[in-house]
Structure 1
Amino acid sequence: MDEIVDQIWNLLHAGANAGIERSPFTMLQAATVGVDGAPAVRNVVLRRASREERSLVFHTDVRSQKVAELRKDARISIVGSDLDAGIQIRLQGIARIVEDPEETRPAWNLSRPRSLIVYRTPLIPGTPVASPEDAFAKADPGEDGESAGFENFCLIDVSISKIDYLNLHPSGHVRVSLEYDGERWRRKWVAP
């Protein structure tokens, strides 16, 4: 089982550190409890994974619906999969919305300009528009320069408490459940 736990974190680290070639675990699906109580799922880009801190981090617009949902209920579920390898990793945890510039500025500075342009739009994500062009941010950041839109940028830092690993291996499916009890991970094999 130690090898599987190592594999889980290696896959998440690869997803967070993907370069030109993306890892299957770079784009994850995050599920929250909608403000109306309905489930809400969307894709997020994994930016950091820390085994030591039991943490995953992604960026988002502080004005987004997911932030409103997490302010109301910080529980979050995240799933990633490598369809070619037949591996699925499901994670559960509590999200912390990080808005402190001392914590967000380094992530902003490491981000590509094309990733940051979405934070410059004056519209709240999900605002209805007459055409796609109406939602585009100005190409010229103006006097704010490289910091244009920074006020809308935040991090979501997820403290992981449960992990479910499934490998649909041709010689037999393997599933492991991990749960953090406040001091250590409790591991068990479970039926796929």
Structure 2
Amino acid sequence: MKIHLQTPEEIRPQIWKELGRASLDRHHEWRTPVLASADADGLPDARTVVLRQVDAVAGRLTFYTDSRSPKVAQLQAQASAMLVFWSARLSWQLRLRVACSVITSGPEVDALWQGVKQSAAAGDYLSPLPPGAVLPSGSGTADAAEVKVPAPTHSFAVLRAQVLQMDWLELSRDGHRRAQLSASTWEWLTP
């Protein structure tokens, strides 16, 4: 169903509503946005991430990651990043300028890990090899018997993205519309 919004006062809550839905519905198009950061050479590095939690009041999104992932080092060196979402159903593109923080230990990480460790995804955070490591065989999977690195207890980490600015674009046969929204201001932009 196509939603036609008239004002940023309507756009902002609808964006947060869709983000909230995406965090709960694995089939929602916004469930897997692209997170773009800068690598050590200042070059763009982008990857798909899975949206896990949304706090509209705080303006914050939560993702899970392996603490050994290159994106963790990138975001610890430069917290600024961009999230890009696309919904064909709504004909909306959403770009979020965010400030990221990575939490690798503590009660919150422990509590979230308790839920994850019971799922099939637990293996992603228990691998003896970090993401992007070359595998010792051509099998495509990290066989623990072949890997000579001790497995960590877990490498689960929480990635928080504080939304600083939203850039919303609606594509329509009747004319495209674009708005830029921050915590307290908004303006219409040329699409």
TM-score range, shorter chain: 0.7 to 0.9
Q: Secondary structure at the match of 1:135?
A: coil
Report if the CA contact (8 A) 1:118-1:137 is conserved: no
Question: Which residue does 1:72 correspond to in 2?
Answer: 77
Letter in 2 for 1:190: L
1:5 and 2:4 matched: no
Alignment of 1:119-130 (within 5 A): 119-129=125-135, 130=137
Letter in 1 for 2:86: S
Q: Distance in 2 between matches of 1:174 and 1:137?
A: 52
Letter in 1 for 2:37: T
Q: Which runs of 5+ in 1 are unaligned?
A: 139-147
Question: Which residue does 2:35 correspond to in 1?
Answer: 30
Percent identical among aligned pairs is 28
CA-CA distance at 1:121 after TM superposition: 0.9
Letter in 2 for 1:126: G
User: RMSD of aligned C-alpha atoms?
Assistant: 1.8
Question: Which residue does 2:60 correspond to in 1?
Answer: 55
Q: Distance in 2 between matches of 1:75 and 1:3?
A: 27
Letter in 1 for 2:22: G
Q: Distance in 1 between matches of 2:51 and 2:95?
A: 14
Question: Which residue does 2:171 correspond to in 1?
Answer: 168
Question: Which residue does 2:187 correspond to in 1?
Answer: 188
Query: Structure 1 or 2: larger helix share?
Result: 1
* Number of residues of Structure 1 aligned to a counterpart in Structure 2: 177
